[in-house]
Amino acid sequence: MKSQQRRDKILSCAARLFAAARYDEVLMEDIAREAGVAKGTLYSHFADKDALYFAVVFDGISQLNDRLRTAAAQDRQPEEQVRAVMNAILSFFSRNRVFFRLLSMEDAKAGPGGSESRQRWQTERTEQIDVIESVLLRGMTTGDFHVPHPRLQAFVLRGMVRSVLTSSEKLSVAEMVDVIVDTFLYGTHSSTRRPEAPAP
């Protein structure tokens, strides 16, 4: 097995174990056994368990962010742009449920400061909000969206992804995209127009 293939297998096995148990419960011996390699082989690729853990995390989030940037760069109508971005996120997580669990666990530890790796994690997650916000601002510029708080609304939109992925309802990616985008843009009002504010 080539070195890169071996590294990829180690990352895949480590991701499953880290997602299934607390960080301190996962031993390097467990990962080596799961990957079918000697423990020393792990250390030839990763300095320690912390380095391996964050290699798993950054490998996944880099793939996700690449998909997001690609989706946002396409020339589409604003609503279709939002749908494309949501589809990029949801299709990635639907194929990588293990990484979704890891991401959720890592987000729960989020906070100011921390190690260099955790600060990088925050930077990578912030980039996702930047991309979503840019799409909303584009729609506001064209007059398609009413987005008075684009940064906050970008966080809301990303938060809706977690809600549908953890729902007990079994929906396809296309159905999840529809639920999120339709609810976000049109709410539950029976008309596709935003309801007018009541007269004072």
Amino acid letter, 115: S
Q: Do domains 1-46 and 56-186 have the same CATH topology?
A: no
Q: What is the tens place of the pLDDT at every residue in 6-56?
A: 899 999 999 999 988 888 899 999 999 999 999 999 999 999 999 999 999
Per-residue pLDDT, averaged over 116-137, amounts to: 91
How many CB atoms within 10 Å of residue 122?
A: 16
Per DSSP, the three-state class of 111 is coil
Domain positions in the chain are 1-46, 56-186
Q: 176 and 90 in contact (C-beta within 8 Å)?
A: yes
Tokens of 123: 């930077």
CATH topology of domain 1-46: Arc Repressor Mutant, subunit A (1.10.10)
d(CA 1, CA 4): 8
Per-residue pLDDT band for 1 (boundaries 50, 70, 90) equals low
How many CB atoms within 10 Å of residue 172?
A: 10
Tokens of 73: 């760069």
Whether the predicted pLDDT of 64 surpasses 50? yes
Q: What is the tens place of the pLDDT at every residue in 84-101?
A: 999 999 999 999 888 888
The pLDDT score that the predictor gives to residue 83 is: 97
Per-residue pLDDT band for 154 (boundaries 50, 70, 90) equals very high
Which of the four CATH numbers 3.40.309.10, 3.60.70.12, 3.40.47.10, 1.10.357.10 does domain 56-186 have? 1.10.357.10
